[in-house]
Amino acid sequence: GDTIGILGGGQLGRMMAMAAARLGLDCHIYAPDAASPAFSVARHHTVGAYDDAAALAAFAASVKVITYEFENVPVASVEGLSTLVRPAPPALAVAQDRLAEKAFLADCGLPVARHRAVDSAADIADAIAELGAPAILKTRRMGYDGKGQARLTADTDPAAAFDAIGAAPAILEEMIPFTAETSTVLARAADDRTVAYDAPANHHADGILRRSVLPGPLDPTTEAAAAEMVAAVAARLDYVGVLAIEWFVSADPARPLIANEMAPRVHNTGHWTEDGAITSQFENHIRAVAGWPLGATTRLVDITMQNLIGADADDWARHLENPAARLHLYGKGAHRPGRKMGHVNFVGRPVDSSAKG
Ligand code: ATP
Ligand code: MG
Ligand code: MG
């Protein structure tokens, strides 16, 4: 049939499957963990490892198109599939290595933080000498939610910093004195058309997104320039689906926007769209991978998305009392510190469309 295959069973896959169901499309989720939050909302699921070629082949044969909600699916596993994969594997490959990602984004014309590849404590000392301190050390692969990162000052012992993040290969980046963080969430269809959502102000604590607030920090000209840069990145990858790029907003007029990283998937800073836009990011991702036309991204209301992280989720019930709150829980069992358990969209005033011209 027209079943959509999704690699990855977390909350992003769960929300994709819910959007697909609303459009009458079935999903088949493939994930290694039997307790995956996406399984309970999808028609079919397979518990399998990402490197189990036989299980992946059977999964691929059962679906019309494959997408992913998890950016660390091994590229080789995806490349070996006979079924259409959207977005195409090169997007995954580039997003899985912070060094390759920065080179690619810079090649697409996006400003990025100055950085050096560092594979030893000695490299760190050299890189600090060139880039200055403070700086931020990150693993090149597998980091998320600020894991695998350490902030360095001129006094930090390079060897200790290296131990703190785990292992090489790593990257050292200049610390950007940003005035705000924002993101562009863009959808690109199989016919090359693109639509972008309004860019929120993103607030992080301990490397984890806490809140996305709309309207965001950019003036309309800068916001349009950001969307154009992301559209250029998507075009280079012949991308089909939702693509997000995180930005630092800088007070330096020479580079008002600096690209932090890209995500080849739906993005946490787009969760507001479920309750604040005509078409959610999840629906537009499903529409794109299904080969359908995209829906309008028009923002309807001022809105704040707040993540429920770890123990924040314990008193979720209080949001039921708030007439402005739209509660989303991921159905994960136990909370752990730093684990994303759900989010709340606080819906504010309608956007005055007459004022927008
Ligand atoms: P996720 O994928 O969950 O967004 P991540 O682990 O890939 O997170 P980054 O986006 O690289 O991490 O960094 C997390 C946060 O740390 C950023 O949103 C920003 O607040 C801060 N940060 C990262 N790099 C820099 C930098 N070069 N200068 C200043 N702040 C930074
Ligand atoms: Mg990241
Ligand atoms: Mg990030």
Ligand 1: centre distance to CA 265 (Å) = 17
Ligand 2: centre distance to CA 98 (Å) = 9
Distance CA 244, CA 267 (A): 6
DSSP 168-220: SSEEEEEPP--SEEEEEEEEE-TTS-EEEPPPPEEEEETTEEEEEEES-S--H
Helical (H) or strand (E) element with 68 = strand 65-68
Ligand nearest to the CA of 102: 1
Residue 54 C-beta-side C-alpha neighbours within 13 Å: 0
pLDDT for res 249: 98
Give the CA diameter of the chain.
60
pLDDT for res 355: 65
Three-state secondary structure call for residue 6: strand
Ligand 1 atom 15 nearest Cα: 207
pLDDT for res 165: 84
Q: Is 143 annotated as a binding residue?
A: yes
Domains in the chain with CATH codes: 4-85 (3.40.50.20), 114-174 (3.30.1490.20), 180-356 (3.30.470.20)
Ligand 1 is surrounded, with C-beta below 6 A, by 113, 136, 138, 143-147, 173, 175-176, 181, 204, 207, 246, 260-261
pLDDT for res 357: 44
The closest of 287, 307, 312 to 297, measured between CA atoms, is 287
The number of angstroms, rounded, from the C-alpha of 170 to the middle of its chain's C-alpha atoms is: 21
Distance CA 334, CA 72 (A): 24
What ipTM is given for this predicted complex? 0.98
Q: In a structure prediction context, what are the per-residue pLDDT tens digits for the chain, which is 357 residues long?
A: 689 999 999 999 999 999 999 999 999 999 999 999 999 999 999 999 999 999 999 999 999 999 999 999 999 999 989 899 999 999 999 999 999 999 999 999 999 999 999 998 889 889 999 999 999 999 999 888 888 888 988 888 878 778 888 777 999 999 999 999 999 999 999 999 999 999 999 999 988 999 999 999 999 999 999 999 999 999 999 999 999 999 999 989 999 999 999 999 999 999 999 999 999 999 999 999 999 999 999 999 999 999 999 999 999 999 999 999 999 999 998 888 899 999 999 999 999 877 654
Ligand nearest to the CA of 95: 2
